Structure 1
């Protein structure tokens, strides 16, 4: 279908990217199963090296597993905080909310199947990390699709990958990539929370671009 007939598509996409914030504060209203299925379907429209589609999504429905994941994340939050010797920096760290595993209605773990036969290693023989990069693209596609439907997403990275893989009992060839929280956000904001709380501001985009 030609794209030229769509109204202000570039502007709408930029606005969507602007509002794609990492969400840590969730309402616990349940999400409709059909909506979650649709989001996961769209996530798998992402490009992948060799068309390998190496992403593996695991929905966490067990209450015991949710509690175990949240407890583990809390332990890692405390351990990470102990690395900050500067009292002012530690004070700013302590007020940050780094996950919503207890509040979010949907928890999804995402893995990369590094040994799957799909794609026949095309493009991954020289850059094997490209398989995991493909998984990250799928997560970003899910993020945008969720935001377009008014659903917030939070990426919980303050966990130990091996612990998560063992806890969930996934195949050994699956490499942990992300633990995601999905749900309605408690509030809306187009400014990253870490920027609002004085942790790290956005830098001018040109600082991240070089010309050779």
Structure 2
């Protein structure tokens, strides 16, 4: 039996700083990320917990320029439609000023899927709540996010995408369900304050606002 490490107060401070500096990045420098760094980050992401130890995450690195261009066109179209649907003119104008993705210049683009058809884990923990596999994939994404920040890199989650369209464009096996489209690279300008907060779109809530007792 191996003994767990003892985490020092200095480590606790570093961990809090890492969590505070984990930002959703939209603006990246164009320099490539070293291949060994990408491989290590993806390996670290897979240390995340998963229901029944099913490890249902499937990472697809977008290397084809054609696929990247198709994803950009799709996301830009969805973003435009979302903006046009906003009834409030001021909100619509503010939305138009936001940079919603870095697909055009991020060094790495990664599509993440959940393998709903996996038999790994024997279905443990997912009989009554099958969505726990999806949540497991999100845990892996968050682990990747923190590992990237710890290595001086940023991650951006592109949320304006139609799952069926991205799945079809990616040509993945049947049974894989789209979860996220991620941009990875060195941030153009690292900020501890979220961009949406800096631009006046939405401030962070007080830490106790989402906590209640019953």
Q: Does the TM-score normalized on the shorter chain lie above 0.5? A: yes
**Residue 89 of structure 2 corresponds to residue 87 of structure 1:** yes
> In structure 1, what is the Cα distance between the partners aligned to 2:92 and 2:36?
42
Q: 2:198 aligns with which of 192, 196, 199?
A: 196
Deviation at 1:85, TM superposition (A): 1.9
SS at match of 1:8: helix
**Residue 16 of structure 2 corresponds to residue 14 of structure 1:** yes
**Residue 108 of structure 2 corresponds to residue 97 of structure 1:** no
Q: Which residue of 1 aligns with 2:39?
A: 37
Deviation at 1:195, TM superposition (A): 0.7
**Residue 114 of structure 2 corresponds to residue 115 of structure 1:** no
Q: Which residue of 1 aligns with 2:129?
A: 127
Q: Which residue of 1 aligns with 2:64?
A: 62
Deviation at 1:6, TM superposition (A): 3.7
Distance 1:5 1:40, change over 3 A: closer
Distance 1:116 1:90, change over 3 A: same
TM score, norm. by length of structure 1: 0.98
SS at match of 2:14: helix
Q: 1:146 aligns with which of 110, 130, 148?
A: 148
Deviation at 1:7, TM superposition (A): 5.2
> In structure 2, what is the Cα distance between the partners aligned to 1:152 and 1:134?
21
SS at match of 2:122: helix
Root-mean-square deviation over aligned CA pairs: 1.0
> In structure 1, what is the Cα distance between the partners aligned to 2:115 and 2:156?
22
SS at match of 1:182: strand
TM score, norm. by length of structure 2: 0.97
> In structure 2, what is the Cα distance between the partners aligned to 1:203 and 1:42?
30
Structure 2: runs of 5 or more not aligned: none
> In structure 2, what is the Cα distance between the partners aligned to 1:122 and 1:4?
31
Deviation at 1:3, TM superposition (A): 3.0
SS at match of 1:163: helix
Q: Which residue of 2 aligns with 1:137?
A: 139
> In structure 2, what is the Cα distance between the partners aligned to 1:26 and 1:5?
33
